């Protein structure tokens, strides 16, 4: 079932509620009501992701929408994803339950001036960490491998494992890789779990906390 504003789609990682037009929260809620009431089977207790392209919805709107879905339809909102207008599947994800302040704290750059260089691939079961600065990896991070840094994480290869930047709470930290197809990204206490089966995009990408108060992943051009 679908209408002009919202639609439901099933992907490998579960059910997604897709919001594509740039409309108000009230219009979105009305469209969801029409959609769910027109379905032949109940959705109570179902876990859903919210997918949306650029919309006027603020972080407060998203919190209200999550509450609306939970209280009115007994749905469990597991994440908020940004999608490309030309794609049907989500390209990035971040849990809706995390609230990031509009004004991020100013960091003391001197505390993170140190960068550790790792000249090898991080294999499954291996963890490399630096709680005094950033990490630069001359190699890959394989599935099951993990990198933790208080500053930034730069992978001059493919990141397929887990990466946790800003481990000491630095929300301006970033994660960058030549190919970014991780199992999980984390900046500070905020987690990003990309969709299962995501393919490399063929260009460097960077993950950071964006203006929409979620972790975003975009093409890396320059700092």
pLDDT in tens, 14-65: 677 888 777 888 888 888 888 888 776 667 777 777 877 655 677 677 778 8
Asked whether residue 120 falls in the same domain as residue 204, the answer is yes
212 part of a folded domain? yes
Asked whether residue 128 falls in the same domain as residue 176, the answer is yes
Asked whether residue 160 falls in the same domain as residue 61, the answer is no
Q: What is the pTM of this model?
A: 0.52
- Which stretches of the chain are assigned E, i.e. beta strand? 6-11, 14-19, 47-52, 76-82, 92-94, 114-118, 127-130, 133-137, 146-149, 153-159, 162-165, 175-180, 184-187, 190-192, 205-209, 215-219
What total number of domains does the chain contain? 2
Higher-confidence residue: 85 or 204?
Answer: 204
Q: Specify the pLDDT at position 194.
A: 76
64 part of a folded domain? yes
99 part of a folded domain? no
Which DSSP category does 122 fall into? B
Higher-confidence residue: 108 or 103?
Answer: 108
The single residue listed with the structure tokens 């979620």 is 214
Asked whether residue 180 falls in the same domain as residue 78, the answer is no
Last-in-domain residue among 49, 70, 94: 94
Q: Specify the pLDDT at position 108.
A: 44
Last-in-domain residue among 94, 128, 157: 94
**Alpha carbon of residue 155 to chain centroid:** 18
What percent of the chain clears pLDDT 90, i.e. is strictly above it?
26
CATH (domain of 116): 2.160.20.70
* Tokens standing for residue 103: 């004004």
Asked whether residue 82 falls in the same domain as residue 143, the answer is no
CATH (domain of 39): 3.30.750.50
Last-in-domain residue among 52, 69, 94: 94
Domain range for 135 is 109-219
**pLDDT tens figures, 44-53:** 777 777 877 6
**pLDDT tens figures, 167-202:** 888 888 999 999 999 999 999 888 888 776 777 888
């Amino acid at each position: 079932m679908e209408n002009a504003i919202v639609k439901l789609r099933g992907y490998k990682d579960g059910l997604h509620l897709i919001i594509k037009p740039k409309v108000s929260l009230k219009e979105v809620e009305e469209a969801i009501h029409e959609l769910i009431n027109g379905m032949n089977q109940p959705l109570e207790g179902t876990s859903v992701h919210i997918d949306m392209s650029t919309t006027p919805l603020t972080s407060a709107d998203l919190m209200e929408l999550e509450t609306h879905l939970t209280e009115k339809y007994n749905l469990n909102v597991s994440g908020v994803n940004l999608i490309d207008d030309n794609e049907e599947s989500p390209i990035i994800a971040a849990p809706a339950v995390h609230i990031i302040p509009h004004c991020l704290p100013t960091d003391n750059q001197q505390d993170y001036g140190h960068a550790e260089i790792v000249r090898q691939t991080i294999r499954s079961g291996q963890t490399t960490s630096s709680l005094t600065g950033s990490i630069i990896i001359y190699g890959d991070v394989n599935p099951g491998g993990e990198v933790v840094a208080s500053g930034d994480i730069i992978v001059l290869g493919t990141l397929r494992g887990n990466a946790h930047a800003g481990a000491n709470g630095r929300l301006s930290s970033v994660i960058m890789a030549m190919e970014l197809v991780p199992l999980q990204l984390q900046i500070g206490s905020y987690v990003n779990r990309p969709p299962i089966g995501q393919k490399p995009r063929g260009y460097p990408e960077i993950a950071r906390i964006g203006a929409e108060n979620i972790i975003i992943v975009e093409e890396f051009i320059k700092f």
